């Protein structure tokens, strides 16, 4: 039971960090990039809300689905970090994705 909530917390933290970066992008957006930043905020907010559900309803399959979604988001964020040559935006997402994968593996052992 404890690993379920640990995995849920890891998934929530992953979504919260992603949401924080999208808010930062929104605040620093120019007129040309504002609409893209707003789309990023809306998608990140939706995932953040989705990651709160496991704290109220204990459903392994749901947690697995939302965790997998966040793992993919973090993997893609890490690839973007590589492309823009930013170590923090590369290592952070990859570490978060790895930690979430480990949590899922332990959850299903």
Cβ contact 106:3 at 8 Å: yes
φ and ψ at residue 30, rounded to 5 degrees: -90, 175
User: Considering the entire predicted model, what is its pTM?
Assistant: 0.89
Q: How far apart are CA 13 and CA 33, in angstroms?
A: 26
How many residues would you count in the chain? Answer: 109
In the predicted model, is pLDDT for residue 10 greater than 90? yes
Task: Give the per-residue SS3 of 11-56.
Answer: HHHHHHHHHHHHHHHHHCCCCCCHHHHHHHHHHHHHHHHHCCHHHC
Confidence of residue 49 (pLDDT cuts 50, 70, 90): very high
Condensed to tens digits (0 to 9), the pLDDT of residues 16-41 reads 999 998 999 999 999 999 999 999 99
């Amino acid at each position: 039971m404890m690993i379920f909530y640990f995995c849920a917390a890891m998934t929530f933290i992953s979504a919260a960090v992603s949401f924080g970066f999208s808010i930062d992008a929104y605040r620093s957006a120019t007129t040309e990039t504002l609409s893209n930043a707003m789309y990023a905020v809306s998608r990140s907010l939706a995932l953040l809300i989705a990651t709160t559900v496991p704290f109220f309803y204990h459903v392994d399959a749901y947690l697995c689905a939302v965790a997998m979604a966040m793992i993919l988001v973090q993997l893609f964020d890490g690839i973007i970090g590589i492309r823009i040559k930013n170590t923090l935006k590369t290592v952070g997402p990859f570490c978060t994705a790895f930690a979430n994968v480990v949590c899922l593996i332990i959850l299903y052992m």
